[in-house]
Amino acid sequence: MRRMTPLRRRMIDDMTLRNFSLKTIQAYVRCVARFAYYFHRSPEHLGPEQIRAYLLYLLQERRVSLSYYNLTRCALRFFYRVTLGRDDVPGSIAPAKQPRTLPVVLSPDELVRFFAAVANLKHRAILMTAYAAGLRVSEVTHLRVSDIDSQRMVIHVRRGKGQKDRYAMLSPRLLEILRAYWKAARPADFLFPGAVPEQPITTGSVRRVCYRARRAAGLAKHVTVHTLRHSFATHLLEAGTDLRTIQVLLGHRSFSTTARYVHVATASLPSTRSPLDRLELTPRGAHRS
């Protein structure tokens, strides 16, 4: 087993003190380690020119996604600014602007087909929970039995994105499904345990379940577990729920993140008239007498 260097230990401690999630800590450490490996030198001996060259390498040769580029950028900025206390590096790391694409959303009919394609009760309960409460996949997998509050009809989401707790809605229909699942499986701690009962089901397992359900349902759209969250928000908006409420339910820090669902909702389109329809146009070739 490779010994952890003092520099890596210090970076981990710096992130731990700032209450970074374990997932973020691991991702940042990997990014800095790959940067150092590329130059075969300790990162404390590298500077702005090497960072610039490495980021160009990621974009031009590796052709990584913009999200991975920005993850690496954030990791290097944290390492140099916080762990090494250097002020010469952060300003030289340019962010990459990501295109604003609209999320994929399933129609109610497509959701019925999707859920009907999941025969396993536990798997169906997981995916329905993701949709009914608008949860992220990691939030679903880490739910505990005690997080389901049937008295107040809410779900306690613990340490969601940004390490923040929040309450999500508990649908009466979802409660029926969860009760049926609990009677059959009798989970003791985690609501959806994995192969090891003391551990939650992995996010990878849930993603594979979702992939198989999409194929079995014959859906042409690219469906992920996050698609269910997008569908939840869009369907609430189309039903008349205000954006502020949706923001709270989703746990979005920025209102602009929630506002993008305005561009996806289509329920009001058929009843909205185009201004062209209000023009009194004379058909081509016809003449007024």
Q: Which residues are catalytic?
A: 136, 161, 226, 229, 252, 261
Structural contact between residues 177 and 153, judged by C-beta atoms closer than 8 angstroms: no
**19: left (phi > 0), else alpha (psi -120 to 50), else beta?**
left
d(CA 192, CA 122): 7
d(CA 280, CA 195): 68
Distances (CA, A) of 106 to 56, 172, 214, 226: 37, 21, 11, 11
Residue listed under structure tokens 């729920």: 241
Identify the DSSP state of 151. Answer: T
| Helices of type H across 61-89 | 66-78
Identify the DSSP state of 275. Answer: G
Q: Which residues pair with 4 in a beta bridge?
A: none
